[in-house]
């Protein structure tokens, strides 16, 4: 079987993430990781918190805590929430780890040796009111390209144009709102990305299977305007990875740290080292995932991220890896997502508008959210969460189709045959036709999952659930039982086995419900049903089972209306 390395964009340490953040990277990455494991592949699924930069400093100051203590506490919060949503990371690391510090400094040294880092004396914005140099993203103003009045100093979120703070019209501090800004000289290190343009262009051109969204964004940044620009990789901050060339000090860079966008992607690699240390493994164990001279040449590496992260993962991070001259694994496939909007507007962290991960788990189990988010994933365009759609999807897909099938089959069997798989009867034309239909639908499901077509995969899975319901309705074992108990026993035996099949196929989407279905069928057999003829006879005659509690409760109109009101504005 193949070996798969999977990473999702690492969430920033500052605050709890909303559902739009979740579906943009971590959740579909988990779907894919679970599916590949279910098919028998070896998987390394990594994520971490992105902890450096001014936002962490400011959030810590607001909380009245040292920044390191604040980050440690927020890492624990994010870890608990990821566990709550069933995100099956092999390791959830931290960009402030010793491993990332050493590796970031190592890459900087290699890039310097390759002539790809230069020292630049530049003019940078200093806020007199704040008493500090302002990081690019903490300067706001009007975009000179599109006129958007809340453009940041590093990028306009509206038109995605890469900017410098001095490009902004009417700039102001995003920290204090002050316009008392002045430009001062300071010295920084720049990654000479422009020297890598041809290599990056050729590499991107070789990725003919990438989603159009990914490639179009990468090409735009590579070729737009004056093309790929050199990028500063250091900042005048206290919190971050100290600037060094490997283990040596960097003269003239005392007191500076690496820019968060330089060190954060390197954490993908460092995270594997953290995993090795945490699990008692060796350096060779993690390098076989990341070094092509240590065994990673047969690894397929897939990244998941929102579209705003694409430029850094298609250009800056690959420039770091290629520029080092070392045999590190480059990404093979980047699955990027558009935005999920909220009920006629946008999710807003600052305004508390929308549903955040902790709030979601407070009102419903994770599988309800997982199913809706994945079946409505914003792949080809932006998507929108509405409470009406959420209610309809949960009630129809999860309660009426899947949950109802499990309930009807198990309760009928208990009432007529007891709590064990009934004996008797042989399959006929109806059952043969069902197996043929399910085989076709299973192949479609597998094809969409292999291609990471999330919404299509969800639709294919639902169609498999529907096929079982249609068979049950057509076979009508409750009516058959009156005239031919043995045939009814065969029909129910097939349906009980189908519950196990549904549990295995559904596990990537709804892992908790899947585990409950397997438990009710008194089996831990997770084997993928590649041969449905055999899979539908896995539970033998006489095999005991239990009737599960309701898999999915329906969402009432009163609940929907209450939640729509509660999550319309300021977070309490």
Domain boundaries, the chain: 387-535
Phi, psi dihedrals of residue 303, rounded to the nearest 5°: -110, 145
Residue 132 to residue 556: CA distance in whole angstroms? 52
What are the DSSP E strand ranges found in 354-440?
383-385
159 is in an annotated binding site: yes
pLDDT greater than 50 at residue 304 = yes
71 is in an annotated binding site: no
Q: Give 454's DSSP letter.
A: H
146 is in an annotated binding site: yes
Residue 561: in which H helix or E strand, if any?
helix 557-566
pLDDT at 572: 47
Q: Terminal CA-to-CA distance of the chain, rounded, Å?
A: 49
pLDDT at 325: 97
* DSSP per residue, 395-407: IIIIIIIIIHHHH
Residue 501: in which H helix or E strand, if any?
helix 485-506
pLDDT greater than 70 at residue 280 = yes
Q: Helix crossing, 260-278 with 283-290: angle to 10°?
A: 130
pLDDT greater than 70 at residue 80 = yes
CA nearest to 276, candidates 267, 268, 284: 284
| Contact yes or no for 435/468 (Cβ under 8 A) | no
Does 138 or 545 have the greater pLDDT score? Answer: 545
Band of residue 571 on the pLDDT scale cut at 50, 70, 90:
low
- Predicted confidence (pLDDT) per residue in 211-270, tens digit: 999 999 999 888 875 568 899 999 988 899 999 999 999 999 999 999 999 999 999 999
| Contact yes or no for 471/410 (Cβ under 8 A) | no
Residue 476 to residue 571: CA distance in whole angstroms? 50
Rounded CA Rg of the chain: 27
pLDDT greater than 90 at residue 165 = no
271 is in an annotated binding site: no
* CATH number of this structure's domain 387-535: 1.10.730.10
The residues pairing with 92 across neighbouring beta strands, listed in sequence order, are 47
CA nearest to 484, candidates 562, 424, 558: 424
- Predicted confidence (pLDDT) per residue in 184-220, tens digit: 989 999 999 999 999 999 999 999 999 999 999 999 8
- Predicted confidence (pLDDT) per residue in 118-164, tens digit: 999 988 889 999 888 887 878 999 999 999 999 988 888 888 888 88
Residue 208 to residue 568: CA distance in whole angstroms? 42
Residue 398 to residue 404: CA distance in whole angstroms? 8
Instruction: Compute the average pLDDT of residues 414-441.
Output: 97
Q: How far is CA 228 from CA 191, 219, 467, 510, in A?
A: 11, 10, 52, 42
- Predicted confidence (pLDDT) per residue in 474-530, tens digit: 999 999 999 999 999 999 999 999 999 999 999 999 999 999 999 999 998 889 999
């Amino acid at each position: 079987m193949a070996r798969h390395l999977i990473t999702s964009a690492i969430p920033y340490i500052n605050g709890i993430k909303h559902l739009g953040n979740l579906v943009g990277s971590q959740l579909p990455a988990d779907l894919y990781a679970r599916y590949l494991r279910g098919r028998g592949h070896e998987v390394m699924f990594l994520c971490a918190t992105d902890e450096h930069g001014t936002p962490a400093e400011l959030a810590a100051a607001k909380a009245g805590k040292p920044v390191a203590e604040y980050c440690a506490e927020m890492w624990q919060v994010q870890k608990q929430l990821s566990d709550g949503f069933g995100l099956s990371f092999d390791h959830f690391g931290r960009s402030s780890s010793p491993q990332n510090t050493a590796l970031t400094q190592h890459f900087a040294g290699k890039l310097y040796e390759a002539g790809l880092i230069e020292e630049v004396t530049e003019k940078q914005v200093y806020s007199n009111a704040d008493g500090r140099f302002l990081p690019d993203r903490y300067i706001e103003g009007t975009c000179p390209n599109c006129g958007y009045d809340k453009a940041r100093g590093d990028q306009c979120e509206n038109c995605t144009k890469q900017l410098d703070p001095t490009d902004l019209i009417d700039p102001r501090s995003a920290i204090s709102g002050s316009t008392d800004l002045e430009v001062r000289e300071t010295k920084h290190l720049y990654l000479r990305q422009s020297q890598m343009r041809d290599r990056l262009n050729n590499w991107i051109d070789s990725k003919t299977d990438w989603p159009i969204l990914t490639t179009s964004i990468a090409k735009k940044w590579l070729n737009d305007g004056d093309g790929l620009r050199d990028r500063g990789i250091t900042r005048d901050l206290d919190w971050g990875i100290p600037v060094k060339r490997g283990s040596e000090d960097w003269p003239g860079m005392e007191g500076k740290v690496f820019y968060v966008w330089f060190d954060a992607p390197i954490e993908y690699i460092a995270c594997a080292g953290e995993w090795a240390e945490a699990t008692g493994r060796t350096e060779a164990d993690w390098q076989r995932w990341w070094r092509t001279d240590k065994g990673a040449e047969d690894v397929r590496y897939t990244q998941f991220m929102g579209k705003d992260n694409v430029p850094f993962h298609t250009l800056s991070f690959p420039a770091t890896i290629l520029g080092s001259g070392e045999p590190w694994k480059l990404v093979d496939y980047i699955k990027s997502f558009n935005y999920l909007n909220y009920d006629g507007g946008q999710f807003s962290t600052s305004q508390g508008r929308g549903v955040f991960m902790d709030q979601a788990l407070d009102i419903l189990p994770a599988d309800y959210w997982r199913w809706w988010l994945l079946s409505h994933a914003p792949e080809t365009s932006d998507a929108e969460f509405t409470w009406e759609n959420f209610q309809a999807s949960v009630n129809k897909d999860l309660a009426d189709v899947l949950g109802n099938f499990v309930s009807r089959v198990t309760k009928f069997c208990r009432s007529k045959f007891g709590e064990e798989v009934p004996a008797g009867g042989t399959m006929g034309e109806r059952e043969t036709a069902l197996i043929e239909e399910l085989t076709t639908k299973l192949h479609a499901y597998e094809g969409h999952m292999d291609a990471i077509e999330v919404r299509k995969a969800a639709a294919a899975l639902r169609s498999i659930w529907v096929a079982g319901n249609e068979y049950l309705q057509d076979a009508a074992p409750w009516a058959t039982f009156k005239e031919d108990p043995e045939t009814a026993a065969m029909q129910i035996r097939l349906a009980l086995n189908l519950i196990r099949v549904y549990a295995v196929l559904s596990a990537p989407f709804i892992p908790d419900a899947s585990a409950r279905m397997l438990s009710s069928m008194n089996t831990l057999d997770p084997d993928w049903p590649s041969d449905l003829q055999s899979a539908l006879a896995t539970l033998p005659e006489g095999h005991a089972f239990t009737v599960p509690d309701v898999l999915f409760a329906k969402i009432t109109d009163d609940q929907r209306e209450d939640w729509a009101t509660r999550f319309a504005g300021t977070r309490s």
